[in-house]
Amino acid sequence: MKSKFITNISHDLKTPLSLILGPATQINNIAKDPKVLQQASYILKNTNHLMTMVEQLLQLNHVEQGIGKVKPESIDLTATIKSICEQYEPLAMETGITFTLDIPRELYITSDHFRLSQSVHNLLQNAFKHTSDGELIGVRVSKSGGVAVIEIKDTGIGIPKDQHEKIFERFYKVDVNNHKGTGIGLSLVKEYVTQLGGKISVASEVGKGTVFSIIIPVMPPDVSVETIDEVIVKTEITNDDKLPLMLVVEDHIELNAFIAQAFEENGFKVITAFDGRQALTMMQDNIPDIVITDLMMPDMNGEELVDAIKNSDTFEHIPVIVLSAKGQLNSKVDLYQLGADNYLTKPFQLQELLAIADSTLKQRKRLRDSFLADYLNKPQRPEQNDVIAEEASNNNVQQYIDYILEHLDSPDLNVNTMGKHFNLGRNRLQREIKIITGLTPVEFIRSVRLNEAQKILKAGKHNISEIAYMTGFSNLSYFSRSYKLQFGVAPSEVQAVALR
């Protein structure tokens, strides 16, 4: 009953908080009066603080109910801690706090990324709350034997010795008059660290400062080597081709991990990137079925990533969902004009994001299946469907198919060469093919090639590598994955039947 109440009240609080956050963000973006901007910043700061409190309540409730299994993966602890600390540098500059970082050149551990990152965030937030302007906060990471040690030190107000154990109890606050905290954060950190097979300790003296130490095993005792190999990095793909592959591009480590975990639990394979440039590099090796990207990111932002994807012959068919805080674009229209398939504002509801991704993929599949049934799987018998045959002819689809077949083995065949042959601009060709078939030109070309590959494969005279190159595929793994996506069966299975 208590768990249900906490869940319900937390979600009920999120809705009005979102309604406060949205208008406050808009005011902050359009206001020019310094006084108005200052008031808007107060609203934003305190609303975000309330959102953090609500999230902590939900997380604590989940821990109590045992919701969410620990998901071990290989973590570059050096890069992770560095990235987290970078998020606090503006606050350190604003308050005049000296913020130092001492980390090894490289340290990899196997742990749960979300729980570990959340624990470090909570300790840093705590340090900044209780450290006066001009003081010192330091983060140090080291390895000792089979454990990794993360120390967060401050020269803040300190904690009385008789309260060192109590601070990890739920809802306990050192100073009841301090309205900055809820007594949830440290309790949650202890729960997470315990789940990771580690320990947390505190050393503090009033007026001198505090040191929190997280000690976690480099490799958790309950994780087998076989399990670790399967989850080593999210850039590696498992061998289950039945699951759709999603690329999550988000520079906020916790949100990235949260989205990835949610989709993995709902039937997706997920790879992750932290900026647009890294995402494009990963897509060269692992072409995803769908991309979810943040808008504001370092190096290459989401707007540039969408533009790069939608202007690529290789990637333009991939649907892209953009996540963004309100006010980062003048209007959603700007983003849709770049080619984004959908847009969701932060804070977003996870169930809505899951539903949008699922609906987008299902819609693409329906369009693709309809085209394959109408044009590709029955080209040799147009008399069985005169209306379809006539429509194909009237709309030049058959001409496009014939052109692709003439250049079937050429890896250079693409939208540009095809448009040039028919004296059509890229945009016009794309509109014409998509209106008739529901496919982008890239998907259309690939579908024709795969249809021919299927015919050759069933004849049983060539191996899979030969067939891939005969039909214009230079990447064998991409050919196999595309084939299975279109026909629902791996080429190796078709070949085995043909050779019987």
Same domain, 127 and 186: yes
Boundary of a domain, candidates 34, 53, 68: 68
CATH number at residue 427: 1.10.10.60
The tally of domains found in the chain comes to 4
Q: Flag whether 485 is in a domain.
A: yes
Question: What distance lies between CA 87 and its chain's CA centroid?
Answer: 19
Question: What's residue 56's pLDDT?
Answer: 60
CATH number at residue 171: 3.30.565.10
The residues, any chain, with a CB within 8 Å of residue 389's CB and separated by 6 or more, are 382, 383
Q: Flag whether 362 is in a domain.
A: no
Q: Flag whether 315 is in a domain.
A: yes
Boundary of a domain, candidates 288, 318, 348: 348
Provide the residue range defining the domain that includes 35: 1-68
Same domain, 414 and 329: no
Percent of the chain scoring above 70 in pLDDT? 74
Q: Flag whether 357 is in a domain.
A: no
Same domain, 42 and 167: no
Same domain, 75 and 215: yes
Same domain, 221 and 75: yes
Same domain, 75 and 150: yes
Q: Which helix or strand (DSSP H or E) is residue 124 part of?
A: helix 113-129
Boundary of a domain, candidates 21, 40, 68: 68
Same domain, 187 and 114: yes
Question: What's residue 26's pLDDT?
Answer: 80
Question: What's residue 389's pLDDT?
Answer: 43
Q: Flag whether 358 is in a domain.
A: no
In tens digits, what is the pLDDT along the chain, a chain of 500 residues?
Answer: 445 555 455 545 655 676 677 778 888 888 888 888 888 887 887 777 677 666 666 655 555 555 456 777 778 899 899 988 988 888 888 889 999 999 998 888 888 887 898 889 889 988 888 898 889 999 999 998 889 999 999 998 888 887 777 777 754 455 534 444 444 567 778 888 888 889 999 898 888 899 999 999 887 544 433 332 332 233 333 434 568 889 999 888 777 888 888 899 888 999 999 899 999 988 887 878 899 998 888 888 888 999 899 887 678 778 999 987 644 445 566 777 777 888 887 777 778 889 999 988 888 777 666 666 665 555 443 343 444 444 444 456 788 888 999 999 888 888 888 888 888 877 777 767 766 676 778 888 888 999 899 889 888 888 898 999 999 988 888 888 888 888 888 888 887 776 66
Identify the CA nearest to 150 among candidates 86, 96, 103: 103
Could you give the CA distance from residue 81 to residue 197 in angstroms, rounded to a whole number?
A: 19
Same domain, 203 and 242: no
Same domain, 228 and 122: yes
Q: Flag whether 130 is in a domain.
A: yes
Same domain, 224 and 252: no
- Identify whether the C-beta of residue 156 lies closer than 8 Å to the C-beta of residue 132: yes
Q: Flag whether 359 is in a domain.
A: no
Structure tokens at 336: 């849709």
Q: Flag whether 113 is in a domain.
A: yes
Could you give the CA distance from residue 314 to residue 287 in angstroms, rounded to a whole number?
A: 9
Question: What distance lies between CA 73 and its chain's CA centroid?
Answer: 16
The residues, any chain, with a CB within 8 Å of residue 9's CB and separated by 6 or more, are none
Same domain, 318 and 217: no
- Global pTM reads 0.40
CATH number at residue 245: 3.40.50.2300
Same domain, 22 and 61: yes
